[in-house]
Amino acid sequence: MKNLVIRAMSGAIYVALMVVSILWLEQGNATLFLAFFALLIIVGVDEAERLLYGGEQPWPLRLLDKIGALSLFCTLLMCGSGDSVAAWMMSPVITYFVVRLCVQLFLPRVNALRSLSASFFAVVYLAMPLGLVVPIMTMGFPHVVLAVLVLIWLNDTGAYLVGSTCGRRRLFERISPKKSWEGFVGGVVCCLIAAAVAWACQVAPRESFGIASWLVLAATVSIVATLGDLLESLLKRTAGVKDSGNLIPGHGGVLDRIDSLLMVLPAVYVLFSLISML
Q: What is the pLDDT of residues 109-121, one digit of tens each?
A: 889 999 999 999 9
Instruction: Say whether pLDDT at 162 is over 80.
Output: yes
Confidence of residue 82 (pLDDT cuts 50, 70, 90): low
- The residue extents of the domains of the chain are 32-139, 140-278
What does the pLDDT read at residue 141? Answer: 86
Distance CA 178, CA 162 (A): 12
Q: Quote the percentage of the chain above a pLDDT of 90.
A: 65
Instruction: Say whether pLDDT at 255 is over 90.
Output: yes
- The burial class, CB within 10 Å (0-12 / 13-18 / 19+), for 47 is buried
Instruction: Say whether pLDDT at 274 is over 60.
Output: yes
- Cα 150 to the chain's mean position, in Å? 13
What does the pLDDT read at residue 229? Answer: 95
What does the pLDDT read at residue 84? Answer: 56
Give kind and range of the element (H or E) at residue 170: strand 170-172
DSSP symbol at 58: P
Q: Is 28 left (phi over 0), alpha (psi -120 to 50) or beta?
A: left
Confidence of residue 103 (pLDDT cuts 50, 70, 90): very high
Angle at 49 between CA 264 and CA 47, to 5 degrees: 65
What does the pLDDT read at residue 200? Answer: 95
Confidence of residue 71 (pLDDT cuts 50, 70, 90): very high
Confidence of residue 92 (pLDDT cuts 50, 70, 90): confident
Count CB-CB contacts under 10 A for residue 89. 17
Instruction: Say whether pLDDT at 231 is over 70.
Output: yes
Average pLDDT over the chain reads 90
Instruction: Say whether pLDDT at 254 is over 60.
Output: yes
What's the residue count for the chain?
278
Count CB-CB contacts under 10 A for residue 6. 14
